Each structure stands twice: as structure tokens, then as C-alpha cells.
Structure 1
Amino acid sequence: MTSLPSKARAVIIGGGVSGCSVAYHLAKLGWTDIVLLERKQLTSGTTWHAAGLVGQLRASRNMTRLAKYSADLYVKLEEETEVATGMRQVGSITVALTEERKHEIYRQASLARAFDVDVREISPSEVKEMYPHLNVSDVVGAVHLPLDGQADPANIAMALAKGARQRGARIVENVKVTKVHTRDGRVSGVSWDMNGEQGTIETDMVVNCAGMWARELGQHNGVAVPLHACEHFYLVTEAIPGLSRLPVLRVPDECAYYKEDAGKMMLGAFEPVAKPWGMDGIPESFCFDQLPEDMDHFEPILEMGVNRMPMLGTAGIHTFFNGPESFTPDDRYYLGEAPELRGYWVAAGYNSIGIVSSGGAGMALAQWMNDGEPPFDLWEVDIRRAQPFQVNRRYLKERVSETLGLLYADHFPYRQVATARGVRRSPLHEHLKARGAVFGEVAGWERANWFAREGQEREYKYSWWRQNWFDNQRDEHLAVRNNVGLFDMTSFGKIRVEGRDACAFLQRLCANDMDVAPGKIVYTQMLNERGGIESDLTVSRLSETAYFLVVPGATLQRDLAWLRKHLTDEFVVITDVTAAESVLCLMGPSARKLIQRVSPNDFSNENNPFGTFQNIEIGMGLARAHRVTYVGELGWELYVSTDQTAHVFEAIEEAGQDLGLKLCGLHTLDSCRIEKAFRHFGHDITDEDHVLEAGLGFAVRTAKGDFIGRDAVLKTRETGLSRRLVQFRLKNPKPLLFHNEAIVRDGAIVGTITSGNYGHHLGGAIGLGYVPTRGESEADLLSSTYEIEIAGERFAAEASLKPMYDPKAERVRA
């Protein structure tokens, strides 16, 4: 029997490829006293039956960075550990059967070039040359990535485990974790059971790598890890005579992927409506288990497969496999420290891309644990994006039935999920619905994205070109610019920070000066030690001892965790008050005229200048009127108690009828803010982006004294900027920008668009993106010729470091 230590620096729970990767990378960093505990045998949950596809190109720079790291690691790992990983860089081909899909994969090719991934667009005839068995009669385009590949998943995990052991890690099988202990809000130990023998390991770091058990394991400590298993199907043929080595093939329009392996062909599927599994829990005995066959479910995929690759019609089936894999509500995995419990780390929920993800994810998490901050922006996969309600099993069952299929569905811009909707609603939801609102969902919140006209179909018609709501957005946008619009922004996260030391606490966390008079609103960022942006927010001082913080709805859990993490012995209370108040944003040049009709208070510049708030009467209710804007116009954010929200809305609506008041959605909020070059957290600004490079130095006050990130700001002021966030406008009014299009400077790709939308006032697509500065002046930076590459085609662009709309903010302060 293997004796387990009584103490460890970290305990990893789960011996799939994810847990083995975390152990390997922690050991590479010199952590010798780490223990990995596996309830059954290594790889026995999902890893052993994974398809083993290793595709380097992902949806963003950092996800691609991680996937490329995995591919490189698996090539080197065999030599290091003498365990064969089966890594073969056979390349991959993705084919398109529609013009929309062709545009999508060509956009991905432009993105790959920006990320320095080897890629080229190929014709149907070139596909046929590389894949002679394929029916290409209806193929309209394709891309080829020659360094993609395939590998043996189980052996990769075994190689990682051996590499970890060689560096001192303890990896023990047949040990069930029975409890994660806590003390004073952080992990303190792990209890285990091994064939009836029991014990506890004292540790202050645990890593939940439990795969499809991760949700249940997290629940025991109040940690939300929202994921659910789905049945995942593939078949393997008998050996096919003359079948040579082939690239991995993806036919997303038929939900299928193909892989040649040892003279056999594998056909796997991501069908549009998946089968969730394990609603009643996963059996205790589950190990190297298969799920019951369901050929009826798989048959539509197989029929398309036989048409696509006719030799499948005569090849015998060697294996028809059905096994569970875990999926998350947004098809992105979880990484990082859980916001609910210090020292509780997560690496789980890989959505069928666990092999290509785990090498890089293990590296990134190990560095995060070692350094106390992530090595680069990982917000896409950060566990802090998970909402507490998402652990609900009915919600997960409904949502993952869709997210599995979304992996191969068209990744249209603005695509909305269809399942598990309506969980979080504003008090105005039915009001807005009755007036034509078409809703989208963020962090569970139903939000009006655009308003349909009378008789117009209230649903999205997706496309890579102008969608069916483009004209609706234009009308809303121009109403805000020329008249007055009303937005429901109840989904804002709202946090009260109060107590004797509230001011000192926020001074330490925020880059701007928080010691302002009550009634003042401060726009600020919370920075990390590198000067990167952890949070983008406004802070209103309610009194000498109370502040009100407003953050994006999607980042609320992240921001709460950041605040609580840095609370030491200060006398401060942090409270999430999001549900207590709704937010109505009244914006546009006629906003003052309208608000004066429903409130007797004084809204003049003398009494209520920009950056201040006042308590007001409105209709027959009460509210706080914040003089701020995210659209670049005169306006107010009205914070109203949820029980009075409907009344206040009705009063504003009635008073604005003859002023042309227009209800506006989130798409319009975004198109207005990008004309004004206002930054969007998660796209334009992240924890990897230095506050000065992001052009937000105006919100930093180094003279106020010490705060987190101050030294990094001072250092960058001294050494100069290495890149700048630039605003672009396409000179051709037809093309659209969304994000991740390639920025071309003087003929060379230098970066990507971080966010984009259509500037209906400026008359063209607008985007933001970082450009390396080479230590040059602003004039030199702007004197270059800029283009934006969209799906392989380049379009001339105007560049600016100042907002192209109202650069002096005269309209905001009107």
C-alpha cells in the first residue's frame, strides 16, 4: 500500500490529462511536494476515449497560444519521458459547403496569420488532391493548417504523469477524496479513502481536475463549477486497404470530423441536439465504461458521412463508441482560482477539446498558482465568469444539449443561445417584450439587444454580412445621437463597499483618486502589479464611509472576488446589491429636456455637472441620477429601486412621446460606445493590457500615494509605451468589423481588432486594436498606411488615437 504524506503544497484531484498536465507543470516549476489523487485509474473518466485531435487555431490569440504550446509539448514529451504520445503532425483541413461557412473559415485563416500559425486557403480541387477519398462536389472552399495533428490521449496523460513523477510529484491511483477542508475562507486540507484506509493531507491549495465529477466536487464546498456530461459518439471502421496517412478533416456543415489512424477511419460527430447524461449522478463504479449504443441518434451523421466519403459505405464498422464528456454553458473550459474559496483551483470542463487544451491549460494554471496571477489574459476561460445559478442541473441539462452542437455550428457574430433562457430578468422585461424587444443573454440576464418594428419578425437572421436588425440599430443609434434614447441596463453589477476604512481600501485598489466629496462619480480601473487592468468601473461616493461600484454584469463575480481577495484587516463590508436596483439610461441631446418633465430636481450643469449624482424625485418615485455615459452623449443613468422601476419607466415613456423617445438595445449601446472609442472590458482591455497602453492614463493618479500597479505605471511612463490602442474606421462603408480581424500596417500584419461595430454616425465600420509603437511619436504612428484584413481581403482604414466622435467630449458635458 502506498503511504500518503500528511502535508503537501498542493493536492490535485483527478488523473485525466488535465490533472496530469497540472502536476507536470507544477513539478517543472520546482514544486516537489505535490500529490495527485485519482479515484480509479489514470485516464479512466474521459481521457481514455478522447479522439485526440490537436488543432492549433482557436478563437483568440491566447487560446491559440495555449493550443500551440500543447502541440509543441506533445512532440517533445515522447523524447523526454520515453512514453509514446502518438503525436503526428499530419495537418488538418476544414471544408465549407456554404458561402457563409467559407467566409467564416477564411476569417479564421486571416486570424491564424495574425497569430503566426501556418495556414493557407485551398480550392476544392486541392482538397481532392490531399484527400482523394472525399466527395468535393459541393465544397466551396477550405483551409489547410499543415502543423495540426493527432495524438494518443491516454499516452499523453501517462507521459505527463511520468514527467511529473520524475520531478518528485506523487501520483496515486484508487484514492477517493472524501472532503476538502476549509479554515477562515480558504482550503486547509483534503481527506481521502483508499480501500478503507483513511487519512488527511494538510494543504492550502487544491486543484479540481475531476472532469465530469467537477461540479459535484465543487458543490461540497460551495464552489460553482457549472458543467454537465453529454454522450459523445464516434465510429471506427475496419482496416481499409490502401488507406494512407491523411490530414484530420473537419466538415462542420455536416457536424462531422474524420481521422485516419492505423489504416482505419474514425468518424465523429457534434450533432445539433446532444444527449445529456448523468442527471441522477455518475455511478460510483464508473471507470473505463462505455454508454449504450444509439445508432438511431448517430445515423443522420453516418448518412452524410457515406455521401462525403463513399468508402465508408463498404467499410465494416470495427467500433461504435459512445462515451461521456463534460460541457459547459458557453463551450469554454474553466481555469483559475474559484471566487468562493481561496486556494481552491479549477481546471475542468473541456468541451471535447481537452487534449489540445490541457497541455497549455496545465502550464498556464501552474504559472498562475506559482506567481499569484495568470501569465497572460485568460478571461475567456476564467472560472470567475461562472454564475452561481448555473450549477442548477435542469439549467445545465437544457444548455449542454445545445452547446455540444455549437462547437461545429456556424459561429456567426451575435449568435444567441436558444436553450435555458429567461433565468434572470429585469422588472421591465415584459414591458420591453411588448414593445418589440429581441433579447440576448449575458451571465443569465435577458437583455434587449434590438427592437423590432411593428410586423417585423422578432428573431435573428444570422449572417457574416448585415443581419436583419442592421437598420433597426441604425435608427436607434441615430436617435441617441440626434434626439434621445432609453436603455435598460439593469444587468449592471452593483457593489456597495462601506465601513470606516472604505476610502483607504479603495485608494489601495483603484488607480484613480477615491478620496472625493460625497456626490462625486469617479471612472477608474483596478490594476494588477503589472499595470494590467483587472476591472473597469465607476465608483460613486455615497457618504464619508460608503461607496457604490458599478461593473459590467459579466464581470461581477470576478470583481467581487478581486475586492474580497485584497481585503486584509480593514474595517470594510463588501455587498453585492445587483438585484436591489434597476438602471435606466436616458441618453441623447434631448435627455435634459425629457428628464425635467418627470422630475422637479435641478439637472443643470451648475447643479449636476458630468461626473456627479443626485437623489431625485421621478414620477411618483425616487431614484439616484448619475451624470455619466457609455454612449458619448448628454445623459443620466437612473438607479431605481426594483419595485418602482416599472412606474418610472412608464412615466419616462409617457413624457417622451412628443420628443421622439426611442427604446434602444445593447447593440446600439455598443455601436455608440465604439464611435466614442470607449473601451470594452474583456475585449479592448484585459489584465494583460497595461493601463497606459490602453490610453487610460487620464484615470490614473500616481500622486495620490501607493496603490496596486503604481510602480508598473511609473516604470512604463519612464520607459515608454510598446504599443497603443488605436481606433480605426473603414473607408469603404460596406464591410463589417466584429473582432479578431487582422490589422495591417504598411503591408504587414501587426495585430488584431479587439472589438468592432458599425458606426452609423461616422458612416463605416469602427474597430479598436493595439498597434506596436516601435518607440515612435504619435505623428509617426498615424502617418502609416493602415488596412484591415477580413477573410483574406484588405480594406483601407483611417486611424486615430483620439475618439473620432466628439473628441473633446463637448456633447457629454453639454
Structure 2
Amino acid sequence: MTLPAHARAVVIGGGVVGCSVAYHLARRGWTDVVLLERKRLTSGTTWHAAGLIAQLRASANMTRLAKYSQELYGSLEEETGLATGFRRTGSITAALTDARLEELRRSAAMARAFGVEVEEISVSDIGERYPHLNLDGVTGGVWLPKDGQGDPANIALALARGARQRGAAIIEHAKVTGLGRQGRRVRWVTVETPDGPQRITCDHVINCAGMWAREVGRMAGTNVPLQACEHFYVVTEAIPGLKDLPVLRVPDECAYYKEDAGKILLGAFEPVAKPWGPPPESFEFDQLPEDVDHFEPILEQAINRLPVLAETGIHTFFNGPESFTPDDAYHLGRAPEMDNVWVAAGFNSVGIQSAGGAGMALAAWMDLGEKPFDLGDVDIARMEPFQGNARYLRARATETLGLLYADHFPYRQKATARGVRRSPLHGALAERGAVFGEFAGWERANWFARPGQAAEYDYAWGRQSFFDNVAQELHAVRTGVGMYDMSSFGKLRVEGPDAEAFLNRICGAEMTVPVGKIVYSQMLNHSGGIEADVTVTRLSQTAFLVVTPAATRLADETRMRRLLGDARVVITDVTAGEAVLAVMGPGARALLQAVSPNDFSNAVNPFGTAQQIEIGMGLARAHRVSYVGELGWELYVSADMAAHVFEVLMEAGADHDLTLCGLHMMDCARLEKGFRHFGHDITAEDHVLEAGLGFAVKTAKPDFIGRDAVLRKRDEGLNRRLLQFRLTDPEPLLYHNEPILRDGEIVGHLTSGAYGHTLGGAVGLGYVPCQDEDAAALLASGYEIDVAGSRVRAEATLKPFLDPGGDRLRG
């Protein structure tokens, strides 16, 4: 076996995902592609996958990718001559509780917004479509007629054949044993073959190594956090007369059922999973030992739910490993640590239905040099370095497998692998009733329990236990003064002789500003889409502080580093060095004047400026900005002084009715004000002008990334606009992805939603098409929001419902 001396792209891993990446690169004209598989194609996880192929996912773009997979698999046989076993059987998801039925109704509404054919069906409808089902306890369900199933191994082999037909090389028994790194690039791949070690030089490497991806990532100097878990299913003996059944999911019993060749495959996503691995060197088409005791509770419920199982023997009890990530979203994209290493791995038991779309998206990203559309849900850059920790991964994996079929309540928090990252104020907040959520590993105070109230979440689709707490916190910020911890937000120090010029090139706003000025800005791509949403504070002539959302700190830092070129600039992550306390509300100035000798007047410290201050017996930097739409300051305090400053503020706050607040309040407040949230309301595929953020882009300055796209859009006109909505009925709740109806027709979906306690109803943001329409015509229409199948009338506005002139935050 002689390997090619060079390849434009080397794909590591011959499962369905690796084959898809090779296929799609070849389809885009990358004929110089080599796929390396350590054993035989599909021999890791793909061969034993259940092969369920669903269209609906948790976001619009993930649904787009799943729909693409289905369409691709339907045409592969004709293209390659290899049968994929793909057939549209339809799928039923049955609810056993009112809470699950609410979730299904909301998911059906979301499906309508995403263009997925869906039908809410009654208990009797479920019985007609699945006659073997015991309907006891069933409360309703949804039917997706275009869902299907396929043969996982043959899908992968068809993709591999399609890649070969376009010039790619697919090589088995070729184990990657080393990656030659020079700086931020992999220059060659060392491969063990039956004929000895060989080397391939390359331009790109794609890690599609499945449950080996973490180790391959470390070989490349990159972080790919995933953990293999045992995954169980049984296959029955043949059942006479069994044919043409849809896929059935009963998530309240952790089970799914698939009819195949007259047999039933019963699989499970049990609440407490069994981490496994690392896989042995010999692993190839292997099974793991049976664990009947572990699977027995699922099987007992299944026999009750499908009585025919009690009369049928089990042909196969199967246990095989599958990979899971810390957040149940797969890893896709360019690894932050390297410039030519890409990842497609960790598919959380949805690899077959995701592989086609994931391969298409990654190939487009590699070919174009930018994301083809928003892929923030799965971008590998969302993973923090600590999440590659083996102990952390094993602890989290016990939960993430089961979360696939758990109730997906709003605000649901992970229960495992907690407490890794804590603000310097964590203990003080906990003592005062803080209820914490986890975000990018950070423990963040989301709301505060009252004395005697349980300091824990009580999940529901309706008003949760913290609803009134958040209302009180928001009232304090709107009428008095509130304080909350923002220490988790990313802080990047950008320093050097070329810092100003560098930031002017990568940001849309003007960075030639005086020391102490705070600038709100976006980093744009060449299409005018928003890659980052930040504030930039000029600390000195050569130093700036870029503040980013906690979830995108690594992605934003990585983007900046890749755009540095030869600029004389040093970028340093200083997030852990400073705590941040936000003091917000009409009473914020009076409170700060009580604890600091500095002047907080508009004359000295107007909105959008920062100043060094004394506070208590310590020092801080006071940033006059607000994400809640009120007068306020963000106080940046070195971590060693944070506890002291907190105590000083709390002591003085007793005379100012200071209220401790959580980040749920902040989200409600920013939505009342119409402030955008990166990753929901603004993404890489949302044009900055259509997002209503043109005020933050200064086209008078030359040569910043995205400038041409902004000027083009101004000439051509907007295709859609981001509107703010308020429900006229005060009862329903909004979260995100609810369909927007304009004059009775679905035209979009909400990108985010929360309850506007000040406004007396739920509020949300969402894009609406506006081709050749002015603002008056757009707002003259009648709008409704589909909330779990019920249409609720909504008011719409381009300006914020709350304080449209911005007088409160400039007061």
C-alpha cells in the first residue's frame, strides 16, 4: 500500500461523518482528498447505529442540515448505485405527561416555522398509525410524515463511493499515528500501514475520528471534548404481520422503536448513562458486554407499552459505544488552536441524520473560508479548554445521553460536572440565596430565592418558581437600584503599537477615540454578517479591553488572532483577572456616590465612558454602559479586591434599597429594551443593517472587514428587518423559535423571548421579510405569535417598547 505523497485535505476517520466530509469536499472540486481509516469503513460506531433519520432539530439551521441529509440519502442510490436503505416511514412522538405534550406542541409550532411538515395528532390517531401501542397514559403526540430510516453502513459506503467517483482516495487499514505541527498548522500526517509507516504532507486535516477524536485532537494540539458511552438496544425475533410501521418515540419512557424487516428494534436513552473507554487498539465492529440489569427498567416499560414484545423473543441484545459532548451538540468547524485543523465529531447518537448536512456545511466552510450560514450551535470554538478534562467528561456524560429524551424545559440546567468555574463573588452570592446556572462552565447567579423559598429550579413550561423573583428583581432595576455579577463575560486585552489600527480593521465601529471611551461594535464577515458583538474600551493609547459574551470568548479571541497578520499587537485573555459587578437603576448614581469619592455625573462620566475610581478602600474601573436599558455602571474590580468591593456596596446598599439580581432578570430587561443577543438575534448570517445595528457601523472609515457588504446593502435595500414583539395577552410565555404570523401567514420565527414584567406581557425579537417595503407598511400589518399551536395577537415595533429614545440610560 503506497499512500499519496500530498493531499489538499486529509480526513481522519471512515465513519459516516468522515465519508460525508470527503464526499462533499470532492463535490466542491477538491479532488485531492485522502480519507484514512484505521481499520475498515464504518467499524467504529456507524455500523451499529439505529439509522433513524429525522428532520426537526432544535434550531433553524440544525433543521436545515437534517433536512439536507434526508434529501441527500434519498438520491445517493441513483448517484452511486449503492442502496442506502433509506425510506420515509414517518415518525410519531408520543407524550405521557401534560408537560411533554406542551413541549411537543411547541416543537410542532417550531417545525411549522422551519418549513417541516408536521401534524399534531390525538391519542386515537396514534393508535391508528401504530396499532400495537398500549395507549394507557398517552396524552397526545406529533406526526412527521417525512421522517425516515436507513441503513447506516450502506449510507456511509455510498458516500465513500461517491467521493471516490469524484477523485477522492479512501484508504482502509491506515492508522494515523502522528501529526507534524509547525506553528499553527499541521504540515504532515504520519500513517501506519500494512507496509510500514508512511507520511502525507497536507494543506488541511479534518478530525472525523468519532470516539477517538479527543485523542486525535490532542495529537493535533487541539481540544475536542467528547466521551464514549455505552448505548443499548434489543432486536426482537420476527413478528408475524409486522410491516410498514413508523418510527415511534416515547421519550417519557426513554425509548424509541423502529420496525425493520418484520422485527422491532427497541433502543433507549436512559437517564443515567454508562461512560466507556478509551477503546482498545483492536476495536473493530466490536460489541460491549451485555448489561441486562442496566437495560431492564427500560425493557419492562417497553413490554407494557408494546404488549407484542411480551410474546416475542429477543434475537439480539446489543451494547455499543457512541460519543457524547458536554452540551449534546456535535463539534463542527475549525479548531481554535490551529489554522488548518477541522473537526466533525461527537454526534450524540444523531450522526446518521446529521452527517449529510454536517459534511456539506464543513466542506462549504473550508472552501469559502467563512461559515456558509450560522453554525454557532455546533461550532467547536464554543468549547472551553477545561472541557477536554477526562474526569469532567466522564461525569458530564452520565447525564448528556439521557438528556436527549429528557423534558427540554426552558432554563433547564445541567446537574453534573458543576462548580468548575466560579466568580470571586460566588460564595457571597450563595449565602444570599443565589440560584446558580451553568454557562461555559461558569456558575452564574440566575435568580435569588427569598427567605424560606427553596433555592432551586422547579422546571415547567409555564411560570416557574422564580417568575415572581425575577419580576421583583426587574422592578428594582427599573425603579431603584439592583446589582448583579457579570464576571463570566469574556475580557480580552488588545495591546500594542498597532492595536488601534487592528481593531479598526476588524470592527465596524470607529476605534480612533479618546482614552476612556467605550465603543459598541460588531466584527463582521465579508457578507456583512455578524461574527462577534462586543464593547471595546480604550484603556490607554496602546491598550484596549474587548468585552465579549461568555459563550463566545474563545471564538472571538480565535477570530482576532487569525486576523492579526503582522500587526504589532498582543491579545491576552484577562477574564479571570477581574470580577465585574453591574450596578443598575435610577438609584445607581446615588449608591456609587455613597461609596466612592469620584464624580459620576454626566459632565465627568457620561454614557459610554470609563473612569478609574476609588471604592471603599480599593480601586475599580467604572464603565458607564447598560445592557438593561437603565442608568448604571459595570464595575471592573481586580479579583483580589472583589469581595471587599461587594461588601462595601452591600453595606451602603442597605440605605438605598439595593436588590441583588440574577441574569434571568438581565435577559428580561434587555428584551424589553430590544437589545440584541449574539447567537440568537444576531449571527454570522444576519446582516448588520437588517439587524438594526447600522448605527454601530462607521463606513466613513476605510477598509474594515464587511464595509463593502454594508455599502452594497444600503444601495440595494433590506430584505428583512428585526422587529420587537409584545403579546397583547399577558398569560402566554415566549422562549424562542415561536412562529411569527403576518396577516395570517408564517413569515419567520422569534430568535429570542422572555417575559416583559415592566411591559405586562411576553416580548420577543424576530426577523420579518420586508422586500420593497418601508417601515410604515411593515408595521401596519397584523401580527400573531404561534405559542404551542395557539395564535396570540402581538404588537410589533422597530423602536424599543421601553424608553425608545434611550433617555433612561443616559440620565
TM interval, short-chain normalised:
over 0.9
SS in 2 for 1:273: coil
- Letter of the aligned partner of 2:172 in structure 1? E
Is 1:541 aligned with 2:538? yes
Taking the aligned partners of 2:179 and 2:722, their CA distance within structure 1 comes to: 44
- Letter of the aligned partner of 1:114 in structure 2? A
Q: Give me the TM-score of the superposition, normalised by structure 2.
A: 1.00
Deviations along 1:540-571, one digit per CA (max 9) or x if unpaired, are 01111111100011100100110001011111
| Residue of 476, 499, 521 corresponding to 1:479 | 476
- Letter of the aligned partner of 2:113 in structure 1? A
Aligned to 1:206: 205
SS in 1 for 2:381: helix
Aligned to 1:269: 268
Deviations along 1:163-192, one digit per CA (max 9) or x if unpaired, are 000000001000111111122311211111
| Residue of 792, 795, 799 corresponding to 2:792 | 795
Q: Where do residues 734-773 of structure 1 align in structure 2 (5 Å cutoff)? A: 734-773=731-770
Q: Where do residues 379-418 of structure 1 align in structure 2 (5 Å cutoff)? A: 379-418=376-415
- Letter of the aligned partner of 2:624 in structure 1? R
Deviations along 1:751-770, one digit per CA (max 9) or x if unpaired, are 00000011111110000000
Taking the aligned partners of 2:195 and 2:396, their CA distance within structure 1 comes to: 38
Deviations along 1:578-599, one digit per CA (max 9) or x if unpaired, are 1110000000000000000110
- Letter of the aligned partner of 1:330 in structure 2? D
Aligned to 2:433: 436
SS in 2 for 1:775: coil
Equivalent residues of 2:186, 2:220 under 8 A apart: no
Equivalent residues of 2:724, 2:764 under 8 A apart: yes
Aligned to 2:645: 648
Taking the aligned partners of 1:271 and 1:456, their CA distance within structure 2 comes to: 31
Aligned to 1:79: 78
Taking the aligned partners of 1:26 and 1:811, their CA distance within structure 2 comes to: 53
Deviations along 1:440-499, one digit per CA (max 9) or x if unpaired, are 000000000000000101111111100010000000000000000001000010001111
Taking the aligned partners of 2:553 and 2:699, their CA distance within structure 1 comes to: 26
Taking the aligned partners of 1:342 and 1:117, their CA distance within structure 2 comes to: 36
Deviations along 1:749-793, one digit per CA (max 9) or x if unpaired, are 000000001111111000000000021010000000000001110
| Residue of 478, 499, 508 corresponding to 1:511 | 508
Taking the aligned partners of 1:83 and 1:529, their CA distance within structure 2 comes to: 40
Taking the aligned partners of 1:374 and 1:179, their CA distance within structure 2 comes to: 28
Is 1:723 aligned with 2:720? yes
Taking the aligned partners of 1:481 and 1:180, their CA distance within structure 2 comes to: 56
Aligned to 2:372: 375
Aligned to 1:55: 54
Taking the aligned partners of 1:104 and 1:606, their CA distance within structure 2 comes to: 52
Aligned to 1:193: 192
Is 1:421 aligned with 2:408? no
Aligned to 2:782: 785
SS in 1 for 2:539: strand
Taking the aligned partners of 1:8 and 1:767, their CA distance within structure 2 comes to: 48
Deviates more, 1:487-496 or 1:217-226: 217-226
Stretches of structure 1 lacking an aligned partner (at least 5 in a row): none
Aligned to 1:170: 169
Is 1:246 aligned with 2:245? yes
Deviations along 1:705-729, one digit per CA (max 9) or x if unpaired, are 1100000000000000000000000
Cα shift at 1:304: 0.6
Taking the aligned partners of 1:143 and 1:62, their CA distance within structure 2 comes to: 21
Aligned to 2:106: 107
Is 1:618 aligned with 2:615? yes
Aligned to 1:660: 657
Deviations along 1:671-690, one digit per CA (max 9) or x if unpaired, are 00100000000000000100
SS in 1 for 2:7: coil
Taking the aligned partners of 1:187 and 1:213, their CA distance within structure 2 comes to: 18
Stretches of structure 2 lacking an aligned partner (at least 5 in a row): none
Cα shift at 1:656: 0.7
- Letter of the aligned partner of 1:223 in structure 2? T
- Letter of the aligned partner of 1:147 in structure 2? K
Deviations along 1:345-404, one digit per CA (max 9) or x if unpaired, are 000000000000000000000000000011110000000000000011110001011000
- Letter of the aligned partner of 1:163 in structure 2? G
Cα shift at 1:196: 5.1
Cα shift at 1:221: 2.9
- Letter of the aligned partner of 2:220 in structure 1? N
SS in 1 for 2:107: helix
Q: Where do residues 30-69 of structure 1 align in structure 2 (5 Å cutoff)? A: 30-69=29-68
Is 1:161 aligned with 2:177? no
Is 1:565 aligned with 2:558? no
| Residue of 492, 500, 513 corresponding to 2:489 | 492
Q: Which runs of 4+ in 1 moved over 2 A?
A: none
Aligned to 1:333: 330
Deviations along 1:61-92, one digit per CA (max 9) or x if unpaired, are 11010000000100100111111100010100
| Residue of 729, 732, 740 corresponding to 1:732 | 729
Is 1:179 aligned with 2:213? no
Taking the aligned partners of 2:530 and 2:498, their CA distance within structure 1 comes to: 23
Taking the aligned partners of 1:550 and 1:19, their CA distance within structure 2 comes to: 36
Q: Give me the TM-score of the superposition, normalised by structure 1.
A: 0.99
Equivalent residues of 2:734, 2:764 under 8 A apart: yes
Is 1:365 aligned with 2:365? no
Taking the aligned partners of 1:184 and 1:659, their CA distance within structure 2 comes to: 55
Cα shift at 1:13: 0.2
Cα shift at 1:116: 1.2
Deviations along 1:269-311, one digit per CA (max 9) or x if unpaired, are 0000000001xx2211111100000010000000110011000
Q: Percent identity?
A: 68
- Letter of the aligned partner of 1:801 in structure 2? L
Taking the aligned partners of 2:26 and 2:184, their CA distance within structure 1 comes to: 27
Aligned to 1:297: 294
SS in 2 for 1:266: strand
Q: Where do residues 85-104 of structure 1 align in structure 2 (5 Å cutoff)? A: 85-104=84-103
- Letter of the aligned partner of 1:32 in structure 2? T
Equivalent residues of 2:220, 2:341 under 8 A apart: no
Aligned to 2:134: 135
Taking the aligned partners of 1:114 and 1:625, their CA distance within structure 2 comes to: 43
Taking the aligned partners of 1:354 and 1:22, their CA distance within structure 2 comes to: 13
Taking the aligned partners of 2:187 and 2:800, their CA distance within structure 1 comes to: 50
- Letter of the aligned partner of 2:689 in structure 1? L
- Letter of the aligned partner of 2:270 in structure 1? E
- The number of equivalent residue pairs is 811
Aligned to 1:152: 151
Equivalent residues of 2:101, 2:141 under 8 A apart: yes
Taking the aligned partners of 1:130 and 1:20, their CA distance within structure 2 comes to: 35
Cα shift at 1:199: 1.6
| Residue of 514, 519, 523 corresponding to 2:520 | 523
